[in-house]
Chain A
Amino acid sequence: MNNVFTKENIALSHIVQIQTQVRDPVAVAEACRRLGLGPPVQQTVELFAATATGLAVQLPDWRYPIVCKVDQGRIEFDNFGGVWGQQAQLDRFLQAYAAEKSKLEARKQGHTVTEQSLADGSIKLTVQLAGGAG
């Protein structure tokens, strides 16, 4: 029997899980706009027992703003384990950031992006590659 599975007739698919890092001020601003939040402000913020300098974003019902340290890709915040602000609001911000950053990058490459909201609250983006090279 001939082996019909030659290298040429295999299409490889590729699934990657990514831990989001907040590094792009433009995408932070887009995420704020998307969620109806005030625009991010570069400043030093006094948290309960510390100060943090970076791009400050005020989340709904959070006592202190979150501070995006875009040079390090991390966010500083103090919500006292949820007492001073719900974790879900921060998660929602991260989701909006990842969606806006993906769209910005894909469009920069000339690709077409369509967005869908899924029933479980996820955002699905479909990026159709320009040129079809590959």
Chain B
Amino acid sequence: MTQIIEIVISPDGQTKLETKGFGGQSCRDASRFLEQALGVRASEQLTAEFHEKSVVQQAQHQQP
């Protein structure tokens, strides 16, 4: 899977940084160099994305 970091800088200079395509906690390590270079962390949010295959499997299990 391609590993990318998306950075969106708003017109007032606020920066939002999002990691995509990382397994487990490695996303936090991958973006740390940018966070530290840019300033201070105002907030952090961890989200879990499940592989599409897993979601399909669960849907099938739930069917009567």
Q: How many residues of A contact B (CB 8 A)?
A: 48
Q: Do B33 and A105 touch (CB < 8 A)?
A: yes
The verdict on A128 contacting chain B, using a C-beta distance below 8 Å, is: yes
A12-B22, A14-B44 given; A21·B31 CB < 8 A: no
Q: Do B40 and A18 touch (CB < 8 A)?
A: yes
Q: Within the complex, what minimum Cβ distance (angstroms) separates A108 from chain B?
A: 8
A12-B23, A20-B15 given; A128·B2 CB < 8 A: yes
Q: Which of A11, A19, A88, A125 contacts B7 (CB 8 A)?
A: A125
Q: Do B43 and A17 touch (CB < 8 A)?
A: yes
Q: Do B3 and A16 touch (CB < 8 A)?
A: no
Binds B, one of A38-46, A48-56, A93-101: A93-101
Residues of chain A contacted by B45 (CB below 8 angstroms): 14-16
Interface members, chain B 13-50 (any A CB < 8 Å): 13-31, 33-35, 37-50
Chain A 18-62, CB within 8 Å of chain B: the 1/0 string? 111101100000000000000000000000000000000000000
Candidate in A10, A18, A105, A120 with the most chain B CB atoms within 10 angstroms: A18
Chain A 110-121, CB within 8 Å of chain B: the 1/0 string? 000000001011
Q: Do A73 and B24 touch (CB < 8 A)?
A: no
Residues of chain A contacted by B18 (CB below 8 angstroms): 13-16
Q: Do A94 and B7 touch (CB < 8 A)?
A: no
